[in-house]
Amino acid sequence: MSGCALPAKKTNLKDDPMRFASITLIALVAGAVLGAYFPSTGPVLALGGTLFVGALKALVLPIIFCSVVASMARLGAQGKIGGLLSVSFMYFLGTMIAAVSIGLVLVNLVAPGSGGELAALAGDAPNITGPSSPLAFLEAQAKKLVQDPIQAWSRNNILAILVFALAFGLALGKSGKGDGVASGFEVASDALGRLVTLVLYATPVGVFCLAAKQVAQTGWEPILKLGSYVLVVAGGLALHGLIVLPLVIWLVTKRSPLSFFRAALKPLTVAFATASSAATLPVTMEAAEEELDVPPTVSRVVLPLGATVNMDGTALYEAVAALFIANLYGIHLDFGAQLIVAVTACLAAIGAAGIPSAGLVTMALVLTAVGLPLEGIGMILAVDRFLDMMRTSVNVLGDLGGTVVVNRFAPVGSEDAVGEGGDA
């Protein structure tokens, strides 16, 4: 390939990723235990969590912009964009439909909240104003999709930056004269990768602080109170994340689920602790490239796309939550209404930003579409953060799976294995 190859991004963490991931996992559990037994430590440790998430967030937009432009310029020059994007979107949509279906089947089987015993939960409605119709929702999304890039950057509008970077990178590649500029973005992308590596050394400490803060803040009580609902969401997420996704990956790539999970452990713990697929993106990229050997040209397009639109966990959660709220209010949703729930849950998940509680807000679309009261959101608020941590992990797992699937169906060729071996 031309001098357009992104330099390698190697880290010492690669030497023993399993050990590092295990330490992070232990830190997560230790943080949760500390937060539960010594809640007064929560506010102090929250500072550490804020610093860690802040450092990750600071890198997200620059990484998305530089790496997407660089990869798109390369793929555009080779005419390989179409295959990569169409496989990505087919995978995103297919897995999201599977996730929603699992959620709907489980929630119909278990019927949480249908006994009326939880009806007292109604009342503390949050001030959430949702779109008045699916069309209004789409209009709001369209406004977010295309925005002046400077404004989008200052408003942290990842979607608009992503769209701009995709278009700009493609135009650069097609211009036939973009090699120099593309190389500049590749170098910037590599430098940002090095910063990510530095931040990642703090992962166990960051995860420890976040877990302690979270448990100290909310405790376990709401989770126990809404047990059946939490169990249905958690069970659905577990089915999708532990069975469906690994099965798809195994069928497509023959990669063993164990090796996939090994590679995914670090981004999974960060996703769980931060409840943000956008903040986890730098870690997910590192895992895809370093652990799963996905060429950066693929991972640096598929992962930013995935972190923005591919949200299996959120889609599943939105569907279950809508039916749970219907049960609480004693409203029966027939097959047709549940179909609307399924479609709008996918739309709401696609529209949700990769930040904490985004799914809770876009759920207004699902509820409005089938005439459920928005106040219902107030009933599930207390457990949302916990469920958010779980659904974000599944979102990130789905993104990571997307890179290996896309790499199998739309390979960019070994000469494009950006970052292979050229690093100091």
Q: Which two tokens stand for residue 153?
A: 């950057």
- Closest approach, Cβ 61 to ligand ASP, in A, equals 15
- Closest approach, Cβ 309 to ligand ASP, in A, equals 11
Asked if 218 touches ligand ASP (CB under 6 A), the answer is no
Tell me, letter by letter, the H, E, C secondary structure of 172-211.
HHHHCCCHHHHHHHHHHHHHHHHHHHHHHCCHHHHHHHHH
- Closest approach, Cβ 234 to ligand ASP, in A, equals 14
208 in Cβ contact with 45 (< 8 Å): yes
Q: Which two tokens stand for residue 174?
A: 């097609």
Maximum separation of any 2 CA atoms in the chain, in Å: 67
Asked if 351 touches ligand ASP (CB under 6 A), the answer is no
Asked if 348 touches ligand ASP (CB under 6 A), the answer is no
Contacting ligand ASP within 58-97 (CB under 6 A): none
Q: Which stretch binds ligand ASP (CB under 6 A): 81-89, 146-154, 187-195, 272-280?
A: 272-280
Contacting ligand ASP within 395-414 (CB under 6 A): 395
DSSP state, 244? I
Interface with ligand ASP (CB under 6 A), residue from 17, 304, 359, 376: 359
Interface with ligand ASP (CB under 6 A), residue from 264, 281, 301, 358: 358
Q: In this structure, is the dihedral angle defined by the CA atoms of residues 137, 141, 147 and 153, taken in order, positive or negative?
A: positive
Q: Which stretch binds ligand ASP (CB under 6 A): 9-17, 210-218, 229-237, 385-393?
A: 385-393
Of 77 and 305, the one with the shorter C-beta distance to ligand ASP is 305
Total of chain residues touching ligand ASP, rule CB under 6 A: 16
Q: In one letter, which amino acid is 227? A: G
214 in Cβ contact with 385 (< 8 Å): yes
Q: Which stretch binds ligand ASP (CB under 6 A): 114-122, 164-172, 254-262, 347-355?
A: 347-355
How far, in Å, CA of 48 to CA of 210, rounded?
Answer: 8
- For 155, residues 6+ apart whose C-beta sits below 8 A from its C-beta are 147
How far, in Å, CA of 19 to CA of 21, rounded?
Answer: 5
Asked if 273 touches ligand ASP (CB under 6 A), the answer is no
- Phi/psi of residue 325, nearest 5 degrees: -65, -40
Asked if 277 touches ligand ASP (CB under 6 A), the answer is yes
Query: Per-residue x/- mask for ligand ASP, residues 284 to 323, rule CB under 6 A?
Result: ---------------------------x--x---------
Helix pair 203-218, 257-274: axis angle to 10 deg = 60
Q: Which two tokens stand for residue 192?
A: 């940002």
Residues that bind ligand ASP (CB under 6 A): 275-277, 311, 314, 352, 354-359, 388, 391-392, 395
